[in-house]
Structure 1
């Protein structure tokens, strides 16, 4: 028995009293499992040095660590093996834990120890960072186990005896203790029973699949990649296992014909060296179908200690020089700022960083700092190991770039749609826009079989030229930007490898191309969704899919800024919707296009009484809700380009196509009347309204806020798009509509 473990024998007496007089839930679970004739195993886990951690970090933080250990046990036990079912985890609050599990069939003593060893391996890997932060060292767990099936007596006595037996068996993990597990691991490896699965990495911008992370797993206790690599590290075969993992991942990725990038974990250079294994050689395996390494993302863990930083930087330089895309997996250890001189394209946030982000404000603040840091470095930020839907929603609201994990692998694509902050559109859907074709510039074009050295000569001759477009029969098929070409040629052996090859071997065939009539707002959204390496690439403009010209990101941003400054002069400061100036411009645009339209005036009834009762702040919330609902209904049910404006106060306007205007009005009234009740207190909802003072100073009862909508048809052909004449036509009908009870919509009678 390990020295110091004797302190925990007092726990048995405390547990006995609790089982006898208090905790009957645990006793009930054990009775039910015994009734089902399942094998019951108790695993006793003891965190070594917990008393020192508590003395150094303080009782509160040490108690938080114990809660994290308990959470990890609850999460890890069900994933150990298909036979294993978790019954309960008991935190003894002194660094010790009781884990009760049930299994199908009989369990021999050797199998019981194997289960315990597998659990401790995963536990030490999972809690490495948590314990390191508080105790300054990696976690070491002592463990013992016992069976409950071979004992007689009351259930309380069975548990008591099992705890004493497990305490007597306490030991650390050692090669001897791990022997059975290691033998099974070696057999699974040699018999090629390990396999590769691919976990999708989803973009939280447009829900597309950015790539696939290769995960190594096997039978029995080896269902998790972390277990396999932890065992390989303990027997000095980490790099050999990595080589097998890389080769299998590359081979299957090519055979399955996956689209997107392949993410591969790789050991940094501070992993122990193994004879006969050359690091990185398997990445050159000829079975990988890509002609360039940029679609292969090597994931390297952030170093755990400052003295490992030079080797970490050397690993990034080594793989970067070969053209690989690099990802750094951050655990929030604060070593990452030391890597500011290293170049990497993805910053992966480990499960430790994201777990509990929806309820932990400190962790959220840490994530926000990492997000700002990564974006400064122009990295794509990816959250790993997403298991909880609330955590996923919190990550999406932080505007993370991408995520992966068990939850996302199960969800349908439409369920992964990003959660946006509650904002209102600052621009109309199509109003004031110009088409991308109006700002397109000419570009140098080359054929697919043009040699790389010829393209390089063209770029050197024209210093201000940022790139060339590759065309075939007038259709764009590729894009070559100067900085991408220089990156390839600047690699070790880049010039002899690529210089005399056709430009088609290096061109980007996944460029962004849009038709010339596309509004620049739409193009801007598409351009900003691109991965960061391509963020500043040209946008190719086409006419009936044939090459028309290019637009640089700088030109696009400058044009958008100019338009938004013009629009801001007429935007409503509360809702951000276009005001009077914007409404007039939209009518002018429709007049120029010769399109007739229907103008709908919207006014809130009983709104003053609501303001008097609830105050202006809550009144503003009703205005914001109305604006948001108008925009959503118009977008969903109106025609493309329909416009929503805010005249001021509680007055709004819709400029819609004649054939869709009535449907928009009907549906808006239905949604508004159903949802407006939420803005009232329960007693006012029950009463159907509020008591307030009318304009004559008399107390009166006012029903819920309702809406009056007045449609002016043929705003172009009859009223010649003149907002003054349209408003005058609506005024009389609007006054009549407000006299009617509830929400209504009315038409202005057509003039003969």
Structure 2
């Protein structure tokens, strides 16, 4: 149908941004429609627009020929003019326009106001009346019958839009009603939605995005809510409806404006995440810099704004999309891919866009502590993010267990009800979540006790210059100090960029480099996006970020801030040297055979748990008859059996315990596990089941068949020794326990377990007030 061509043509005209008077000129040349419409609009009364076309009109042309097809259209136009007077109580002025082919518009001004719920009735009444009149006439002329599409809407009275623009919107609405694209409810709700847009009657709430390493608020996601008593209270209803009726661009424009205006004071370098539909990025008004002007008016930096591209919509043209995103990135904006794992072509979108942040959909986060497949998938995302130099944000965190698992995997940031619900003004992180993150800071994902070593402890002072400093002066500073590798560029005490010696040489080393850049400011040649970290960030996290930078920047300074102000720099050499020392220190406390934490680390972990005063279980594992096995089969096989015990214990705890569980190797054939009380017995049962089956492989066929062997005991007497078994003692610590009482009770339980035959576990409780 031609009207589709009309709409596409109008849309192309909009994209070219022509002057309003020429918007529909190409389509309605020689027609008096626009002039008459302007006159009707001046009367201030509502204007009804009917859209009418013939169903399968091409078949009429094919069967009846061009002549009779033209007769049908002439008949339709005359009947349409007559029925408008009958169906609608209109004023004398009725306009009927054949746009093209079988597509007609009818415009009239009703004498009385037409309510939105009457529009569907008017469309139906018009269609039935037209088809009935046409049927009688067409049977005489051609012997055929016709079915029509009829849609009705009103042309809005918004004086901010040109008549062409208002006609364009009305044609789209009427066409969708006629073709059944819009339901009766959609037509009924459209005026209410337009009122919300014109009044900007939406509310913005902010949900914190929290560092899972420090508990600090990294940023906020701006979320839109409608009036509570309205059909448009839910954000999903708001945006789905806007997309359906073609009002997504103006809706997102209003939401951006409200989110920035209502954000308030930004603490430090906190980011504001704004949801952006992929199509909106190419909106001419968006590209024109309107958002940037809005930021300036509200004293907000482009570097603190993150465009969150929803992954629930496919991106058709990545080339054009990336070209537009590059425009924003050059201005300092950042990009996040939202709903990763739940939308269209997630991996392709991430690979093409190369976002600074990947937001993992809540469907992958839900109950992740019980789902090994989701854990493995998130681990892969974290490794992938490290390689491309971006950060992972997990959405929808609702429980302590989900937070703990995400922390253990190495996810950078989190968002969800457990951390903070959306609210206005901006809410704080919940105390429960802060306390949990603080407790996790003292353990790494493998369970080994480790103090979080902040990067600020190794940062050094550095030469800094103002952003307006001439390049000539910067070169003089570097020439005067051969040991200086770079200079930090600051603006009002905040880091704005970085100039490394080898980067400066690239600019000035060309034939005309000095002439081009000597008198220009530092801003012209600095790297505007160096690696900037907070003084409290853990050194391991900073090390991962540093190693994931582009190769050309791999040895650049790492800029350290404190309270968003420049604090110092860390060179890659110092960073790697410190990391090596930390690894060596950790290795000293590990058992050389199994690599598990040794006695010093075990003591620290137990003391940490006791200080927290939260209930836990201390599991002590001892292998029965191991000494005799070691004497009979030799030390090499004995070590193999110890390694089996350690690896099996690690596997069982990983699969049936919690990410925060601790495993230690006391020495020899003795191990400890610290876990939650409700997990301890399951760990012991699973271990015994697997161990008793696997340990048989360490014996000869003869010993395996008879279930043991005869060997000399400690008194030199020949005695029967069964296969090595596992004895567990489980000590529950509730309330206040002392290390001395804990050790005494654990030794007693171990003695009880060793008295029993085969692989067993015993359980006891230690309470002291």
Relative to the length of structure 1, the TM-score reads 0.47
Structure whose alpha-carbon radius of gyration is higher: 2
Relative to the length of structure 2, the TM-score reads 0.47
